[in-house]
Amino acid sequence: MGAAAFRNARIVLADEIVDGSVAVDGDRIAGLDRGISQVGEDFEGDYLIPGLVELHTDHLENHYRPRPGVFWDAMASLHAHDVQIAGSGITTVFDAVRIGSDRDMPQMREHAGMLIDAIRAARQQGWLRAEHLVHLRCELPSADVIDHYESFVEFPETRLISLMDHTPGQRQFTSLETYKLFYKKQLGVTQEEVERYLAEALAQHERHAAPNRRHLVQRARALHLAMASHDDATLAHVEQAVEDGVAIAEFPTTLEAAAAAHDAGLAILMGAPNVVRGKSHSGNISATDLVRAGLLDILSSDYVPFAPLQAAFALPQRVDNVALPTALATVTRNPARAVGLDDRGEIAIGKRADLVRIKLVGGLPVVRGVWRQGIRVS
């Protein structure tokens, strides 16, 4: 680490865009000047934005299991994932790792362990481009989710948990018929097998979901971990999240739930692919509609790493009265604050020098350089 400077840049600050230069000393932003400078790397009028903070991405798991039944080397998967994450302007990423075995992944503990071990080892070895932290996605109805949770929850890399329940008739799949059609196609099974799977899933929910949730929440509170609810659909879901001390409402499926979560002070997170595509892939509420209603705080990549950056630059073109600094806050400052990372997420003196150079090419935000803690990583 050392000194660096960037000049002739369009600098996106918390509430405005200015032309000027930024100076870096070590891993921190040390200076911010408006106007012309002759010192530093010439950005040629490109944007300089804060490094993105990503709270929910399934992308590491997608590299690890690129096809059903095919598992890649965990460290190689992390390397490929890291390259794409950094190349998408993300300097802090919470890698979502599912825990709690299910029909699709009966050896979930072993798979989760390999991914988390890879993250921990790579962090220690110091070759990762982005800073990688762990987001445990906890499937509440699973019989072994507590055992998995206790294996990983006290690792220093674990900073966020989400409370999930994908039982049919709950949350994401309130319509049982929609659920049956989805899983018949997803699993390639007969109608009879879907019905049997449905009955088993409902029994698992009744037996395990409530006691598992109590345990996970109690331990997260004791460890001061940030918590997220997942797929809230009703006022009762939001009330339960508030009672548990949840800070983030991930992917609320209805306007009613989103409004209640907002009123309760929860940060509302939606998938950036929803914004880019203009709709949810599962038919739930549109993220852009939540922006128009003033009910969206955070965008995550979900399953496309480049989507947050693309969505942030698209929102000012699609929604009246949304300026670029406000749109970029949904992928920088807001997610950082939601998980207590107050040292990053904006360009300000004293903040971490997590910075991204962007050139607009036909409206597409092309990443031309990425710096994490003052060091160029992409």
CA–CA distances in Å: residue 99 to residues 57, 142, 153, 163: 15, 9, 11, 11
Q: Do strands 3-12 and 131-139 pair parallel, antiparallel, or not at all (unpaired)?
A: unpaired
What letter represents residue 343's amino acid? D
**Model confidence band, residue 177 (pLDDT cutoffs 50, 70, 90):** low
Q: What is the pLDDT of residue 343?
A: 98
CB 161 within 8 A of CB 225: yes
Q: What is the pLDDT of residue 27?
A: 97
CB 246 within 8 A of CB 182: no
CA–CA distances in Å: residue 183 to residues 68, 116, 143, 197, 333: 14, 28, 21, 9, 37
**Model confidence band, residue 173 (pLDDT cutoffs 50, 70, 90):** low
Stretch among 112-126, 197-211, 219-233, 330-344 having the lowest mean pLDDT? 197-211
CA–CA distances in Å: residue 181 to residues 177, 187, 205, 285: 6, 10, 20, 20
Phi, psi of 234, rounded to the nearest 5 degrees: -130, 170
What letter represents residue 99's amino acid? I
Q: In angstroms, rounded to a whole number, what is the distance separating the alpha carbons of residues 40 and 25?
A: 13
Q: In angstroms, rounded to a whole number, what is the distance separating the alpha carbons of residues 23 and 337?
A: 24
pLDDT tens track for 75-106: 999 999 999 999 999 999 999 999 998 777 77
Stretch among 22-26, 27-31, 72-76, 99-103 having the lowest mean pLDDT? 99-103
CA–CA distances in Å: residue 166 to residues 121, 230, 334: 31, 9, 27
DSSP 8-class letter at 302 = B
CB 109 within 8 A of CB 147: yes
- Asked if residue 319 has pLDDT above 70, the reply is yes
Q: In angstroms, rounded to a whole number, what is the distance separating the alpha carbons of residues 295 and 107?
A: 38
pLDDT (average), residues 101-124: 91
Domains and CATH numbers, the chain: 1-50+346-378 (2.30.40.10), 52-343 (3.20.20.140)
Phi, psi of 261, rounded to the nearest 5 degrees: -65, -40
Q: In angstroms, rounded to a whole number, what is the distance separating the alpha carbons of residues 102 and 268?
A: 27
**Model confidence band, residue 199 (pLDDT cutoffs 50, 70, 90):** confident
Q: Which of 132, 133, 153, 159 is nearest to 340 (CA)?
A: 159
Q: In angstroms, rounded to a whole number, what is the distance separating the alpha carbons of residues 310 and 373?
A: 23
Q: Tell me the pTM.
A: 0.92
CB 287 within 8 A of CB 296: yes
- Asked if residue 282 has pLDDT above 90, the reply is no
Q: In angstroms, rounded to a whole number, what is the distance separating the alpha carbons of residues 129 and 79?
A: 9
pLDDT tens track for 241-262: 999 999 999 999 999 999 999 9
Q: Note the helical H segments in the chain.
A: 59-64, 74-87, 108-125, 145-152, 176-187, 191-223, 235-244, 255-263, 272-277, 287-292, 307-318, 324-329, 333-338
